[in-house]
Structure 1
Amino acid sequence: MFRAFERLLHPYPEAEPLLPPKGFFAFICACTQGLRGYIAGLALLSAAISAYEAFLFGLLGRIVDWLGQVPPQRLWTEQGHMLTVLPGVLVASIALVAMQTILKHQTLAINFPLRLRWNFHRLMLGQSLAFYSDEFAGRITTKVMQTALAVREMIFTTTEVIIGIGVYFITILALAGSFDARLMLPFIGWFVLYLGGIFYFVPRLGRVGKMQADARSLMTGRITDAYTNISTVKLFSHTQREAGFARDAMQEFKTTGYRQMRLVSSFEIVNHAMVVLLILAACGLSLLLWTRGEIGIGAVAAVTAMALRISGMSHWIMWEMTSLFENIGTVQDGISTLTRPRQVVDRPGAGQLQVTRGEVRFEHADFGYGGDRKVIDDFSVTVKPGEKIGLIGRSGAGKSTLVNLLLRFYDLDSGRILIDGQDIAQVTQDSLRRHIGMVTQDTSLLHRSVRDNIAYGRPGASQQEIEQAARRAEADGFIADLGDLHGRRGYDAHVGERGVKLSGGQRQRIAIARVMLKDAPILLLDEATSALDSEVEAAIQASLNTLMQGKTVIAIAHRLSTIAAMDRLIVMDDGRVVEEGDHRALLARGGLYARLWAHQSGGFLGEQVDD
């Protein structure tokens, strides 16, 4: 039975999620798409349970009246038909509660937030590099996790507290009024005062809750940032500094927490005072009417029980309402991140890139990172099919930016980039990157097995193909010796977060094996052998030469000797092409390339060269 209800709501819908709207209620509405029927059912069941519970108090009053008016020997004769109703009502309530709790806990409690996290995560995966350069990874993770849970709790609180208790209170008023209309007055008075307390305290708690959610995500982000870069922290002996950096965020969280608890304590005191007034007023009025003979003893018992029940429920309602507004604050905090539009998106009707030759052409490309300065300025170059070119220039000349634009990590401000005559802005990003292999200087590996990291280039590859790629990348020797704390060895060993358990050279050889396995027609090398020692570099270079056969290659290297043998060298400065030709021709010209070559020390490019 449980399994059937657990399968009602699929937590991982296949459809690509749409960007949620920024408006709060519109955002919540978008989050409930596909499960509004279950939420409506939960609300109806909660309302039915509340009405049933209130009905029991009225029935209690009637039974007390019967006991006071009918002699014991005639009770079953005169009221037996009514007394038999009570067991039936109690038994029926089991089915009602069972349906409500199964719908809540089996269908919605796990699947609902998982569904939101799945969609939020896919939205974040589609964000551009610019988005991630402005945010802590831990902060984004916190918002994905917190917001999904906060939306679920808001829905549950709304259905159980606002709807359920609303129905409960209306039913209690009707029952009290059925004894005597004047008995409704203490409950109405309490309700007005309670609403006043809620309208005063709860919005303030909501604002503090939003500040606290932001402070919590900042605190998590700073702590995660320190863990992610732990080698740098230790290298510079900054453990105490990082602790202090996190403490500043914790201090902000503490401040918002104190403000929240002050409001909670004040609300608790005021709430209890209102409850005491309700009990005194309800009991006092009912006793007064009873002494006048205007109501029976059953009405006194029922009204007193109702007031005592509200006394207990008011504290629960207060905490639920406080939690509701805390969750509202958390959702509002998450909306700012989760609804941020993607800067790089597939155009409507974008097709699949078809690469038959591998020609790459830049036409009057302009780009800047949102500032006035152009990083790429009217750049026009054609890379012929199968041609191997080297990009050369000082740091900041725009070489890596050009590669990122070819991968469409960013969109051009103007101009076009074409592959085999197809504008890369008009094809899907996935199909574009599927045809491009890249090895970077800062190699990042996933905290998975060596096999998974190599197969990331082609997930369907066989073990034989993975091992062959590793051999070609000169990585098979050290892979055999790898192990982890869980006893996994060789290709099954996990490499740690970002590959921290491997040396820089080992990480780069894994990355090269990954690209070799991918075997894309266009190859980008950004300092591909910079982390390797000379002996290994020579072996890898031979493998790269084999890999480059028949491919269009764009290579970046500060060590000019590694790309001097390319078919053509393009020298960049301030985002423009300033020289072009092969190694010998550029040296003979005596321009910027010749000066860069002359100023190399140990084969590396100088940071500054006087013109």
Structure 2
Amino acid sequence: MSERRSINRPAGPRGPMGPAMGRPVEKAKDFKGTVKRLVEYMKPQKIKFIAVFILAVLSTVFNIVGPKIMGKATTKLGEGILARYMRIIQIQMAIQKKMPPQVIAKLKNSPIPSIDYDYIGRILLILIGLYIISASFNFLMAYIMSSVSQEMVFKMRSEVKDKLDRLPLKYFDSRTHGEILSRVTNDMDNIATTLQQSLTQLITSVVTIIGILVMMISISPIMTLIALFTLPASGILTAVIAKKSQKYFAQQQKIIGELNGHVEEMFTGHKIVKAFGREEDSIETFKEINERLYEVGWKAQFMSGFIMPALNFVNNVGYVLICVVGGIFVAKRKIQIGDIQAFIQYMRQFTQPIVQTANIANIIQSTVASAERVFEVLDEPEEVPDKENPMVIENPKGEVKFEHVKFSYKDDQPLMEDINIHVKPGQMIAIVGPTGAGKTTLVNLLMRFYDVKGGRITVDGVDIRDMKREDLRKMFGMVLQDTWLFSGTIKDNIAYGKEGATDEEIIRAAKAAHADHFIRTLPDGYNTVINEEASNISQGQKQLLTIARAFLADPEILILDEATSNVDTRTEVLIQRAMANLMKGRTSFVIAHRLSTIRDADLILVMNHGTIIEQGTHQELLAKGGFYAELYNSQFAR
């Protein structure tokens, strides 16, 4: 469940101005340090970044100049209309004052002032040109920025993938798969989105604020001061509402996670819920969580949705004041009528980039936090590197020795103190013991998934630390209790055991594992595609395919971890016979809970609390009447 929640984090509600105001923002622990590292990744693209910055500035400037130029057209249109009305008023006044007929006739016959449509047309053409240029710069900026962000994230993602390949097994054992996937997918996507969108928006928003402020001052400093008085009111109002809404959003995110967890549990255990008749309890629990989510959700949305009407009210008060003062200035001929129109346009545009900048600041904080999580992966200590001149075993025989091996997962909690084992070539070694005894740890040490803390492990007399991990692991074949199959054909899954395997070799391995019969009964035989969750074949069939994979690999040393636990008794007997043939002449380590399967082992190691407490053959250990005999008799007493 924890994995799913890590990957699918609820997006949360969004307010009318983009990201919901008042939502809790994830913050980085070392903001400055993480930003510096991000900048290092950006340096190879610095020329493109400069180009993006210049294009963003030019695009914004051309956009800002538009209302001022449009104001000139409005002024010219207003002057023409005013002149025509003035002529009509002059004639009416002359008639009312009973002026001489010749004066009235002269006024009527004189040309009526016309609107300068040529001038207005030129202004409109200039505006169209400006907006086309602005849009072109904007398009070019987006195009460059998308390539920059993807190249940068491609590099980071590649580094993370390479790093994960070099990390020790300890790292993966101590973290959920969901947490690791979240850093590789969600956090990377967050960085890419911010670089591609938010960074350019931040540049354009800042340039827009500065540009609009300059244009407003150029029209009227007094009107600009009046307009700026509304900003503190808007800011205080937004801060108060955001503070109140934040706690509701925090509760909402928490309850969404709780609801997702409940739904996932109920669907995962659907059969169990049905079998025990607990549907009503499940529904009641869902209703209770859903009710709490409703109560918190509507409050969060209401508080978030209340911001825009409140800001509009403050802004409208500002518009009224500007219109009154502007009208007085026009009457006194201090400014032109088109300037009022331009000023109001600027005023309407002014608050939007301010809100955008505030939202982008939150997004950048979240992005830096994502980058920090990615850098944490890159900073993890790696596996001890292989030696520069590693030893290679040309013809491995399979002799394995554990000499005074010491090991612990945590320094203050020793697990193995003094393990000594001598396995001769071709022997079958069974490892038994209760859960947590250290059976799998022994195998992990043998394959160098973990390195010993003391002593040494040798294969054919060569310390495995003197070999390359890749060469060491090529000698081993593993069949685990937890089957692993990937999305692909059955043929591809079996062929995973050997690079370049032929169809004949794949079929021979499947027959040896007694998997050929069930494969041929499938609609597409060996070309049957296993789906993503491998749910279109049974658990036992999955086990047979992994065993066939091991047959195909034909390794020098076999490791079988409860390899037949998921097959029926008849198939288990057949596989045991096939494995007996496979293990002839090969060293094999068999971890078993069903002691009936390891009676013929050459050596049985009985482990408990990380220590080998007994060793010998099946008959020898039964004769001793110790831990193994007690374990064996407890299984068959039933």
Common fold by TM > 0.5: yes
Percent of aligned pairs sharing the same letter:
27
**Which residue number in structure 2 is paired with residue 96 of structure 1?**
137
Aligned counterparts of 2:204 and 2:614: Cα–Cα separation in 1: 75
Give the root-mean-square deviation of aligned CA atoms. 4.5
Match of 1:23 among 27, 30, 40: 30
Shift of 1:450: 1.7
Aligned partner (choices 42, 60, 72) of residue 50 of structure 1? 60
Amino acid in the other structure paired with 1:347: V
Task: Quote how far apart the aligned CAs of 1:145 are.
Answer: 4.0
Alpha-carbon distance, 1:401 to partner: 2.7
Letter in 2 for 1:468: R
How much does 1:382 deviate?
A: 3.3
Q: Is the partner of 1:264 in helix, strand or coil?
A: helix
1:466 aligns with 2:506: yes
Q: Which residue of 2 aligns with 1:573?
A: 608
Query: Among 39, 60, 74, which residue is 2:70 paired with?
Result: 60
Distance 2:316 2:466 in 1: 70
The residue type paired with residue 325 of structure 1 is N
1:295 aligned residue: 335
CA distance in structure 2 between the partners assigned to 1:473 and 1:122 by the alignment: 35
Q: 1:59 deviation in Å?
A: 1.5
Q: What is aligned with 1:538?
A: 573
Partners of 1:555 and 1:601 in 2: CA distance: 20
Give the drift of 1:277.
3.3
Report the AA paired with residue 99 of structure 1.
L
Query: Aligned to 1:396, what secondary structure does the other structure show?
Result: coil
C-alpha displacement at 1:408, in angstroms? Answer: 4.2
1:390 aligns with 2:430: yes
Deviation at 1:206?
7.7
Task: Work out the CA distance in 2 between the residues paired with 1:65 and 1:181.
Answer: 20
Q: 1:555 maps to what in 2?
A: 590
Q: Unpaired segments of 5 or more residues in structure 1?
A: 1-20, 484-488, 605-611
Give the alignment of 1:197-236 within 5 angstroms. Answer: none
Residue by residue, what CA displacement relative to the aligned partner does 1:236-286 show, whole Å, maximum 9, x if unpaired? 777777778888887887677556435423432432233223323333332
Distance 1:199-1:556 versus aligned 2 partners, 3 A rule: same
Matches of 2:327 and 2:459, distance apart in 1: 89
Q: In 2 relative to 1, CA 361–40 (structure 1 residues): closer, same or farther, beyond 3 Å?
A: farther
Question: Counterparts of 2:584 and 2:622 in 1: how far apart (Å)?
Answer: 26
Contact 2:219/2:343 (CA < 8 Å) preserved in 1?
Answer: no
Aligned-residue offset at 1:399:
1.4
Cα drift, residue 87 of structure 1: 4.9
* AA partner of residue 339 (structure 1): E
The answer for the alignment partner of 1:505 in structure 2 is 540
Counterpart residue number, 1:305: 345
The residue that corresponds to 1:564 in the other structure is 599
175-184 or 429-438, larger mean C-alpha shift: 429-438
Residue 168 (structure 1) shift: 1.0
Tell me the amino acid that sits aligned with residue 515 of structure 2: A
CA 1:532–1:434 in structure 2 vs 1: closer, same or farther (change >3 Å)?
same
How far the C-alpha of 1:324 sits from its partner, in A, is: 6.1
Q: Show the counterpart of 1:325.
A: 362
What displacement does 1:479 show?
0.7
- State which of 328, 339, 343 in structure 1 corresponds to 2:376: 339
Aligned partners of 1:173 and 1:187 also within 8 Å: no
CA distance in 2, matches of 1:333, 1:223: 28
User: For residue 190 of structure 2, what is the amino acid of its counterpart?
Assistant: A
Conserved in 2, the CA contact under 8 Å of 1:210 and 1:328?
no
Question: 3-state SS of the aligned residue for 1:347?
Answer: coil
Provide Cα deviations, 1:429-479, integer angstroms capped at 9, x if missing partner.
555544321112233433443223222323532332222211111100001
Structure 1 residue 111, shift from structure 2 partner:
7.3
Q: Which moved more, 1:93-102 or 1:349-358?
A: 349-358
Unaligned runs of 5+ residues in structure 2 are: 1-27, 84-112
Q: Distance in 1 between matches of 2:281 and 2:462?
A: 51
- SS of the residue 1:362 aligns to: strand
Please tell me the residue identity of whatever aligns with 2:133: A
Once residues 568 and 186 of structure 1 are traced to their aligned partners in structure 2, the CA distance between those partners, rounded to angstroms, is 92
Q: Which amino acid aligns with 1:97?
A: N
Counterpart amino acid of 1:303? F
Distance 1:230 1:413 in 2: 46
Q: Give the conservation status (yes or no) of the 8 Å contact 1:147–1:331.
A: no
For residues 211 and 336 of structure 1, the distance between their equivalents in structure 2, rounded to whole angstroms, comes to: 24
Aligned pair partner of 2:559 in 478, 499, 524: 524
Q: Does the CA-based 8 Å contact 2:205-2:357 persist in structure 1?
A: no
Note the 1:31-430 alignment, pairs <5 A. Answer: 33=41, 36-37=45-46, 38=48, 41-67=51-77, 85-103=126-144, 107=147, 137=177, 141=181, 144-156=184-196, 158-196=198-236, 257=297, 260-310=300-350, 313=352, 318=355, 321-322=358-359, 325=362, 328-329=365-366, 332=369, 339=376, 345-348=382-385, 354-356=392-394, 357=396, 358-370=398-410, 374-410=414-450, 412=452, 414-420=454-460
Q: Which has the higher contact order (CA 8 A, sep 6+)?
A: 2
Show CA shifts across 1:395-429 (max 9, x none). Answer: 43221232233344455555544445565567665
- For 2:250 and 2:284, the matched residues in 1 are separated by 24
Alignment length, in residue pairs?
574
**Counterpart position of 1:439:** 479
Which of these residues, 569, 576, 592, is aligned with residue 627 of structure 2? 592
The change in CA–CA distance for 1:82 and 1:323 in structure 2 (over 3 A counts) is closer
From the superposition, tell whether residues 241 and 212 of structure 1 become closer, same or farther in structure 2 (CA, over 3 Å): same
Any conservation in 2 of the 1:43–1:159 contact (CA below 8 Å)? Answer: no
Moved more, 384-393 or 125-134: 125-134
Distance 1:421 1:245 in 2: 62
Conserved 8 A contact 1:137-1:225:
no
Query: Aligned-pair distance for 1:91?
Result: 3.9
Correspondence for 1:607: none
Letter of the aligned partner of 1:152 in structure 2?
Answer: A
Change (3 A) 1:581 1:451: same
Deviates more, 1:359-368 or 1:285-294: 359-368
CA contact (8 A) 2:66 2:130 kept: no
Amino acid across the alignment from 1:387: Q
